[in-house]
Amino acid sequence: MNKYNTVNHQETSKTICDSNTALFSEFSCEGVKMQTPAESILHSGYFHPTLRYWQTCATDLRPDNLIYPIFITDSPDAVEPIGSLPGQARYGVNKLEGMLRPLVEKGLKCVLIFGVPAKIAKDERASGADSDDTPAVLAIKKIRSLFPELLVACDVCLCPYTSHGHCGILTEDGAVNNDASCLRLAEVALAYARAGKCIFLV
């Protein structure tokens, strides 16, 4: 056991303003206080009450702990049962409210959006992933307007939108171009963020 395992951590942290109104994070560990300028603090992922709840020592199982996956297709009025997932379906954007409202009323706090378009044009750079009318973007806007308290997570993925079916940008010889792929995934994440405040799974 190393020394870090034997320390009885009693840590607290808070964000404060000093006398010059600059923002600091005040961090206290074992009675020693330290301050970190705001520009040095990574985003905490604490912006939403559900995210804060998930980072507590929760050991129970209830609706607050669960994420409901939504497979959103590009036919607005569609409800297409998924044979391999009994009881689940691909939904068009116009069907989201009827499907989601009973679950939110039962205590659901988070959904995860997967775009599964059937009709969208595919190309080598997955242009359809972040177009204004792509089903994931439309679903984010719809859910944010219907259920503003719901935490929305998005699968950031290129493969449903690429002509080659890979989740990235390829070089001329067919290998994955890592830098170009990361940049493209970042562009898609930005489009989803602009559609409505959300968190991402890449």
Give the residues lining the site for Zn ion (CB under 5 A). Answer: 157, 159, 167
Are 159 and 165 in contact, with CB atoms under 8 Å apart? yes
d(CA 56, CA 44): 14
The nearer residue to Zn ion, 136 or 157, going by C-beta atoms, is 157
The nearer residue to Zn ion, 92 or 160, going by C-beta atoms, is 160
Are 104 and 152 in contact, with CB atoms under 8 Å apart? no
The nearer residue to Zn ion, 108 or 113, going by C-beta atoms, is 113
The nearer residue to Zn ion, 145 or 163, going by C-beta atoms, is 163
Q: Supply the minimum distance, in Å, between the C-beta of residue 156 and Zn ion.
A: 8
Q: What phi and psi values does residue 137 have, to the nearest 5 degrees?
A: -65, -45
The nearer residue to Zn ion, 116 or 167, going by C-beta atoms, is 167
Tokens coding 99: 């499907």
Q: Which residue, 81, 50, 31, is CA-closest to 152?
A: 50
Question: In sequence order, what are the residues at sequence separation of 6 or more whose Cβ sits closer than 8 angstroms to the Cβ of residue 147?
Answer: 100, 104
Q: Supply the minimum distance, in Å, between the C-beta of residue 95 and Zn ion.
A: 24
Residue nearest to Zn ion (CB): 167
Q: What phi and psi values does residue 17 have, to the nearest 5 degrees?
A: -110, 135
d(CA 74, CA 136): 9
Are 91 and 143 in contact, with CB atoms under 8 Å apart? no
Q: Supply the minimum distance, in Å, between the C-beta of residue 120 and Zn ion.
A: 15
